[in-house]
């Protein structure tokens, strides 16, 4: 068994529209990550469209409607009704789902009775029901379910409500792991899923809760655990950049905690996450990636990052993920999904899996061994089996720090590269075979070939910074 570099870290028609029935909702928190209107409204010929589809989607979610007064909110809604025909991107099922729920909440909060808006809501719900996203499933279909549940209850439409309740049970079972963590394994998508669960509980408990007691009881068990993971995967109300993350329009842990309190639910602490266990010693903390691409039938938001990790020292980020810049097919998109954008080992600078287009994965790396103890975590995967290479990474706690050892068996002569990405705020110095970070962390490198280069860092979508990246190189036939 050869050993690569050991790394040591120390110190529907509107003519016959049924009027909205009386309904009530508990208050929804206004969260700060909903500012696309403020960012783009002055740059657009029309408020509702942008050259980038993702931004067009966000502009049509109406997440920020809850920051508006009754008068300004009504103006935005009426402008949207006047300016958007059914052929526009705004009518896609995903933004329609979010917009419906946001409008229903705004109407409830401000006690609005407006026939024009009711007609539009009914028409949007009809179109959504005809275009439910069974071709995508995952979080898209769940957004459809939430919106149709609201529309079914509020418009007293039996077909919409019956479909939503049936699919709700099915998709909760499908989309949550045994630990009640969302199966796309993204902290921000999990937070949005949790927010959807709270929205569902909100409308059910406030509108004939006795009729939906089977669902509400199930949600009373799931939601407290789901919210805990939002805390586990965040620090200072900022979610970790694991897989695709999109902070825009995403509730923070504090937002979800407030929503929980508003509707009378608590938070339940869980044990370690099986996909992302943590290790702590002294002032160091690691979060280790032990998750294959999920869900298997549509891992669109998954990155190629088996055996990667994040590291903090004194609660400050040191080793980071590159992040996610955009969803469009681009150099940045390809890089952010790649193995080398993560803290990983590569062979011939290739990905562990066959990543292609913006959301596709062909051949996928599989975990072949995994061992988690109190003092160590080991993972092996077959991402480079085409080179007849068996690879393992071991994380050990040592005195006042960590030891990370990459080892492999390979009879062919191939080049390996190990990448470690430092947070942009880190001060990096070098001394012989040591890297000194912030004048207090020492990394000892057990390899002769290494260098520090500058690479891109994406703190948020559509934002770029520079970070320092350590690259360690060697050959598989070296002892």
Q: Rounded CA gap, 304 and 355, in Å?
A: 8
Strand stretches in 218-375, DSSP E: 234-235, 238-239, 278-281, 284-288, 309-313, 316-319, 345-347, 355-356, 360-361, 367-372
318-369: pLDDT as tens digits: 999 999 999 999 999 999 999 999 999 999 999 999 999 999 999 999 999 9
> Mean of the pLDDT values across residues 37-54?
58
The mean pLDDT value of the chain amounts to: 89
| Residue 217 to residues 201, 211, 220, Cα–Cα distance (Å) | 9, 12, 5
Tokens 């509108």 correspond to: 207
d(CA 178, CA 229): 13
Diameter over CA atoms, the chain: 79
Matching residue, tokens 């020492």: 442
474, 447 in Cβ contact below 8 A?
yes
- pTM of this prediction exceeds 0.85: yes
Distance CA 443, CA 222 (A): 41
Q: What are phi and psi of 154, to 5 degrees?
A: -75, -40
Return the pLDDT at 126. Answer: 97
Which carries the bigger pLDDT value, residue 46 or residue 77? 77
How far is 222 from 228, CA to CA, in rounded Å?
10
How confident is the model at residue 69, as a pLDDT?
92
Tell me, what's the pLDDT at 37? 44
CA distance 228 to 230: 5
Three-state SS string across 416-458, please? EEEEEEECCCCCEEEECCEEEECCCEEEEECCCEEEEEEEEEE
- Say whether pLDDT at 43 is over 90: no
Other CB atoms within 10 A of residue 83 CB: 13
pLDDT at res. 446 = 87
**pLDDT for res 12:** 34
Asked if residue 104 lies in contact with residue 154, where contact means CB atoms within 8 angstroms, the answer is: yes
Secondary structure element (H or E) that encloses residue 390, with its range: strand 390-398
């Amino acid at each position: 068994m050869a050993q690569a570099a050991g790394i040591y870290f120390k110190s529907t028609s509107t003519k016959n529209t049924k009027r909205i029935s009386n309904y009530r909702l508990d208050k929804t928190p206004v969260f700060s990550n909903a500012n696309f209107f403020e960012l783009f409204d002055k740059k657009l010929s029309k408020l509702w469209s942008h050259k980038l589809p993702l931004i067009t989607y966000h502009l049509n979610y109406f997440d920020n409607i809850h920051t508006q007064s009754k008068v300004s909110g009504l103006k935005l809604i009426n402008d949207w009704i006047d300016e958007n025909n059914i052929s526009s991107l705004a009518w896609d099922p995903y933004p329609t789902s979010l917009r419906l729920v946001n409008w229903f909440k705004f109407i409830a909060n401000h006690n609005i009775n407006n026939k024009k808006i009711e007609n539009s809501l009914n028409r949007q719900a009809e179109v959504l029901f005809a275009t439910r996203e069974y071709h995508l499933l995952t979080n898209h279909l769940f957004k459809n379910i939430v919106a149709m549940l609201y529309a079914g209850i509020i418009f007293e439409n039996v077909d919409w409500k019956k479909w939503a309740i049936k699919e709700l049970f099915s998709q909760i079972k499908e989309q949550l792991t045994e630990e009640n963590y969302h199966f796309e394994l993204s902290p921000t998508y999990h937070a949005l899923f949790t927010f959807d669960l709270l929205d569902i509980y909100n409308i059910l408990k406030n509108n004939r809760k006795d009729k939906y007691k089977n669902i509400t009881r199930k949600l009373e068990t799931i939601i407290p655990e789901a919210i805990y993971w939002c805390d586990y995967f965040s620090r200072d109300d900022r979610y970790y950049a694991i897989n695709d993350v999109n902070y825009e329009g995403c509730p923070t842990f504090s937002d979800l905690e407030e929503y929980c309190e508003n509707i009378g639910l608590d938070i339940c602490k869980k044990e370690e996450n099986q996909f992302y266990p943590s290790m702590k010693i002294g002032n160091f903390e690691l979060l280790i990636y032990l998750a294959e691409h999920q869900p298997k039938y549509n891992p669109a938001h998954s990155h190629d990052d088996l055996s990667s990790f994040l590291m903090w020292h004194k609660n400050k980020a040191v080793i980071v993920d590159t992040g996610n810049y955009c969803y469009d097919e681009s150099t940045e998109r390809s890089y952010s999904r790649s193995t080398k954008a993560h803290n990983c080992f590569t062979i011939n600078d290739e990905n562990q899996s066959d990543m292609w287009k913006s959301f596709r994965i062909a051949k996928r790396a599989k975990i072949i061994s995994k061992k988690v103890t109190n003092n160590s975590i080991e993972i092996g995967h077959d991402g480079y089996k085409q080179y007849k290479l068996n690879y393992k990474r071991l994380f050990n706690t040592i005195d006042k720090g960590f030891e990370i050892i990459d080892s492999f068996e390979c009879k062919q002569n191939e080049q390996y590269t190990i990448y470690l990405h430092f947070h942009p705020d880190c001060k990096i110095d070098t001394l012989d075979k040591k890297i000194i970070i912030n004048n207090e962390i020492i990394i000892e490198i057990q390899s002769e070939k290494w260098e520090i280069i500058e690479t891109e860092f994406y703190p948020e979508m559509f934002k770029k910074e520079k970070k320092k990246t350590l690259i360690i190189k060697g050959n598989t036939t070296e002892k």
